[in-house]
Structure 1
């Protein structure tokens, strides 16, 4: 049994173009510090605003769309949940907190980020302790749930099956959208239309975006060369990988990596 939460990743996401469909393997704590989003989980659509906390369980598919062009800012912590806090899964996934707690979270977040990155002995315990404070704030205000609207779930389960199939098979170069649509239980033309309506992009573009996002992680965090990364992320050749990478990122892989490592 785990005795403390195990933090996997800490970061700040910001920008005017944060959007997408996400499926994380760990619990994810989101604190919204700026901007307004439409945030869909299961059959509910939430209008997310500063002061909201979102706690997502593992493998919860969610779709994020900005409401306007204002800068969006969220503090994010990925973690494995403490056994003794498993009852958090029974609480609402989105809560609102008062202004005094918002200021407290902003101050604590810089501490947890610093401690999580520190090589000093005991930093894991200190960062886990701060995360536990965040979870305590979330639990304290679990009755203060922001309004949400039901959304048409017709077809959503098919899209969800398709996305999970993509996530499980993106490393296969031979993966086709026809195969994805069959797994989702729909004809390819209808699946593509429904996918774009729900997710905001065609399924092939989603697949390529997903592959490139993993390729970027491998480029930064491993010693693999580009040919190896292309193979690991489902591209049939380094040429195809480079072409898709430039189309999505606006520059070639080597140019992107040089900027990312500065």
Structure 2
């Protein structure tokens, strides 16, 4: 896919990072484009309800405000190289440091920023291109971290190169297209509700299914069969994730954090945290302090 309008793009790279994970990490929505390269592992990507199976060498390119959930499906950790960018530089948007957004935050974007919304979001790199891709990303990451004079021009040029590699390696085989995940509307509505209400200790499977408008058994089945995690464990996962963020901020004690994220007691919080993270919240906090 090469279109005349592509000659005018001038990307602005907002963030570049590498991540490693073993399990489902919730739902993300970003206000900019997200370009992800899979260095290791396999995963299911749910992109606005469409499921794609990705593996080493695959690229996923997501347009602004595309909701996405990732679930690792291999024993190896999932290693991703990720960068965020706008297709065109705008001074006001360049000041945005955070990349995440919410379902309610959908400001009007210029039509030109949504030019890639209709593309197939998956591409598979050939081996030679993988080597070149990683070289270019390493330089982008270095420039982004150091923020030297002229770094923005270098990251812009590398972004263009990596976009070229994405389109160059796109398959024309339409049989590989993902299919809409059955029951996705219920799953997505549940996830939104959980993110809004995780702090309520009364939030449970029954309350969630009542809000969504389906039976508790059906909703539980959808989560387990489509996302590979029970509804209850997903709620716990979000609460633990939120507690880790608060512990890292270091502004509240563990008892208050437990209350803020929806646990009915500090004892339940500690037990759930250790089961999920492998260490107690107090040890996690101590490790955070030593790092600082």
TM-score (norm 1): 0.80
> Quick check: 1:48 aligned with 2:65?
no
Q: Map of 1:199-214 to 2, 5 A cutoff? A: 199-214=227-242
Partner of 2:192: 164
TM-score, structure 2 as length reference: 0.73
In structure 1, the partner of 2:252 is 225
Alignment of 1:45-124 (within 5 A): 45-57=51-63, 58-66=65-73, 68-79=74-85, 82=88, 84-124=112-152
* C-alpha spacing 1:124/1:242, structure 2 compared with 1 (3 Å): farther
- Following superposition, the deviation at residue 147 of structure 1 comes to 5.5
Does the Cα contact within 8 Å between 1:47 and 1:148 map onto a contact in 2?
Answer: no
SS of corresponding position for 1:163: helix
1:13 and 2:40 are equivalent in the alignment:
no
Q: 1:104 is paired with a residue of what secondary structure?
A: helix
Stretches of structure 2 that go unaligned for 5 or more consecutive residues are 1-8, 89-109
Distance in 2 separating the partners of 1:12 and 1:105: 14
Q: Distance in 1 between matches of 2:20 and 2:149?
A: 31
The change in CA–CA distance for 1:216 and 1:135 in structure 2 (over 3 A counts) is farther
Distance 1:124 1:258 in 2: 37
CA contact (8 A) 2:48 2:66 kept: no
CA RMSD, 1 decimal? 3.1
The residue that corresponds to 2:30 in the other structure is 25
Which stretches of structure 1, 4 residues or longer, exceed 6 Å deviation after superposition?
none
CA contact (8 A) 2:59 2:125 kept: yes
